Structure 1
Amino acid sequence: MTTAGQKIVDAHQHVWRIGCHDYPWLGRELAIHRDYELADLRPLLGDIDATVLVQASPTSAETRWLIDVALSSEGLVRGVVGWVDLAARDAGEAIAELATHTIVKGVRPMIGFIEETGWILRPELAPALEALAHHGLRLDVAARPRHLPLLRELAQRHPSLALVIDHGAKPTIAAGAFEPWARDIARVARETRCFCKLSGLTTEARPDWRDDDLKPCLEHLLDCFGPDRLMWGSDWPVVDLAGGMTRWREAALRLVPAQARAAVMHDTAVAFYDL
């Protein structure tokens, strides 16, 4: 529970328009296979007063649309994490153009859907990653557990690039596979300056999850990164597949200790994304 007057920043939410942009991961069989707009989000906000809007389509067209959505959000969306083809020859120019929009805070390659685990370390991507750092943009890393051993090298190669791991690298909570995820993410936290998002955990748990199902991973992330490098995100509307935004927010408020709550639920996201 937040204290009186304390607001929350949602560091990870989406909108999408099926038919306008390409969402190869969003199958027709999914209950969230429909359009989602900020108007759908607003009734759920409660004490959330700012969000970071994150790409869901690997297209520049969607990123341009997200910028428009953010600028017309009446101050709700304080940052956009877009998409750039990091392997393109003109990636540097595309990144420079994105950086002219102060609402844009970073980019996210969808590495979780790229079969090659080591893709982000390809040499041809290095100039784009350096361009991100040069322009003060961040890299959201949509990591899976298989990517965690690579993140130390990524951070070492690009020490001035601000990195945040989305969804705690998606630990397989439903299967009870705490290791090697716990060991690998602890090492990333210990040996790099990476930040991490406390988001996406419910969709990795059983459909009937309880607080105790999430607690080991949540506490481990907090122990590893500390409240000053951990930020809460709803992952709305994907979270609707696992109990919904309100249920996840209330669980996080119960599970995050009172002394860490202001940082995890607000301050860390503001500082990392310069909101």
Structure 2
Amino acid sequence: MNPQVDAGQIDAHQHYWDPARGDYGWFTPELSALYRRFLPEDLAPWRARCGVARTVVVQAAPTIEETRYLLDLARNDASIAGVVGWAPLDDPRAAEIIADLACDPKLRAVRPMLQDLPADDWIATADIARGVQALIAHDLAFDALIFTRHAAALECFLARYPALRVVIDHGAKPPIRAGAAGFEAWSHAVSRLARFGQVHCKVSGLATEAAPGWDDDSLRPYIAHLLASFGAHRLMWGSDWPVLNLNGDYARWHASAQRLFAHLSAHERAAIFGGNAAAFYRAGATA
């Protein structure tokens, strides 16, 4: 029996795409579980099963064209609370480009896909001041897609732009499959990033980083550290669907996260599973 849809429950991180568009360089037909169209009608049954009312849709290609594609989807779908798009922050015309994209009320943030850039310190060294100041001016947030190796550069960036709202995607991608070997460096990086008050963090993508057959115990130390670092008021749950399909499914991950946060108060759980995302992404109930 499906739970009643909770109007306040938001999936803070998922994707829609169509490979025929041709600008998703990171995945190929060999990734057969992902290499097809994923659209709102495909996610709707999973949302209904888990009681999730709305989602934040995140870019998957570093192109303005894909951002406009997602905004077009969002314009006619009330289940899309907002879009995290892409913009060329280092372009001399970045301020104009962002101002144009920001005319669409469903654009909530920008994500430069830091994990895929050749220079791990790009976020600290690139000429992106015009683009970042435009994000701040238009009240847009910044999604940071990072691994542990990007944390030091991100710290420099955060110190430089304290007025910018930032959320770390996928808990900074902890090396769960490596076990204890990678935990110390990751946990230290997370703790340092959490010192910046403008930073939130998504509890998403953990199933993808885990070994096949993961369970609550596999994920518990990582979720416990994220909670200890950021507190319930700066965490937001996300599915990372359909990437999640590589190592799990929507209902399994949602149920696991619900259990792993079951010890918190009802108010704290409501914040993690919707309230924090609504506030961070300026996605009110009528958005």
TM-score higher than 0.5: yes
How well do the aligned residues superpose, as a CA RMSD in angstroms?
1.5
Which stretch shifts more, 75-84 or 147-156? 147-156
Structure 2: 5+ residue stretches without partners: none
How far does residue 5 in structure 1 lie from its aligned partner after superposition? 7.0
SS in 1 for 2:127: helix
How far does residue 40 in structure 1 lie from its aligned partner after superposition? 0.6
Q: How many residues get paired? A: 273
Cα offsets for 1:37-72 (capped at 9, x unmatched): 111100110300011011001111111110010111
Specify the alignment match of 2:95 in structure 1: 92
Distance of 1:188 and 1:65 partners within structure 2: 32
Identity %: 44
Specify the alignment match of 1:273 in structure 2: 281
Question: What is the letter of the counterpart of residue 213 of structure 1?
Answer: S
Matched, 1:218 2:223: yes
Question: What is the letter of the counterpart of residue 13 of structure 2?
Answer: H
Specify the alignment match of 1:14 in structure 2: 15
Paired residue for 1:198, among 196, 203, 206?
A: 203
Does the CA contact (< 8 Å) of 1:21 and 1:59 recur in 2? no
How far does residue 258 in structure 1 lie from its aligned partner after superposition? 3.5
The two structures have a TM-score, normalised by structure 2, of: 0.92
Distance of 2:5 and 2:240 partners within structure 1: 24
Specify the alignment match of 2:45 in structure 1: 43
Distance of 2:5 and 2:196 partners within structure 1: 36
Distance of 2:28 and 2:134 partners within structure 1: 34
Matched, 1:138 2:141: yes
Matched, 1:170 2:176: no
Specify the alignment match of 2:28 in structure 1: 27
Matched, 1:59 2:69: no
User: Cα distance 1:8–1:207, how it changes in 2: closer, same or farther (>3 A)?
Assistant: same
Cα offsets for 1:187-228 (capped at 9, x unmatched): 110244210000000000001101100000011101100111
SS in 2 for 1:88: coil
SS in 1 for 2:57: strand
SS in 2 for 1:11: strand
Structure 1: 5+ residue stretches without partners: none
How far does residue 79 in structure 1 lie from its aligned partner after superposition? 0.4
Specify the alignment match of 1:187 in structure 2: 192
Does the CA contact (< 8 Å) of 1:10 and 1:265 recur in 2? yes
Distance of 1:27 and 1:120 partners within structure 2: 27
How far does residue 143 in structure 1 lie from its aligned partner after superposition? 1.0
Specify the alignment match of 2:86 in structure 1: 83
How far does residue 122 in structure 1 lie from its aligned partner after superposition? 2.4
Which stretch shifts more, 10-19 or 143-152? 143-152
Question: What is the letter of the counterpart of residue 73 of structure 2?
Answer: V
Question: What is the letter of the counterpart of residue 82 of structure 2?
Answer: G
Distance of 1:128 and 1:114 partners within structure 2: 17
Does the CA contact (< 8 Å) of 2:124 and 2:154 recur in 1? no
Question: What is the letter of the counterpart of residue 13 of structure 1?
Answer: Q
Specify the alignment match of 2:110 in structure 1: 107
Query: Where in structure 1 do 4 or more consecutive aligned residues deviate above 4 Å?
Result: 3-7
Distance of 1:188 and 1:54 partners within structure 2: 22
Distance of 1:145 and 1:267 partners within structure 2: 27
User: Cα distance 1:4–1:16, how it changes in 2: closer, same or farther (>3 A)?
Assistant: closer
How far does residue 86 in structure 1 lie from its aligned partner after superposition? 1.1
Cα offsets for 1:150-199 (capped at 9, x unmatched): 22211111111110000011000011121100011111102442100000
Does the CA contact (< 8 Å) of 2:163 and 2:198 recur in 1? no
The two structures have a TM-score, normalised by structure 1, of: 0.96
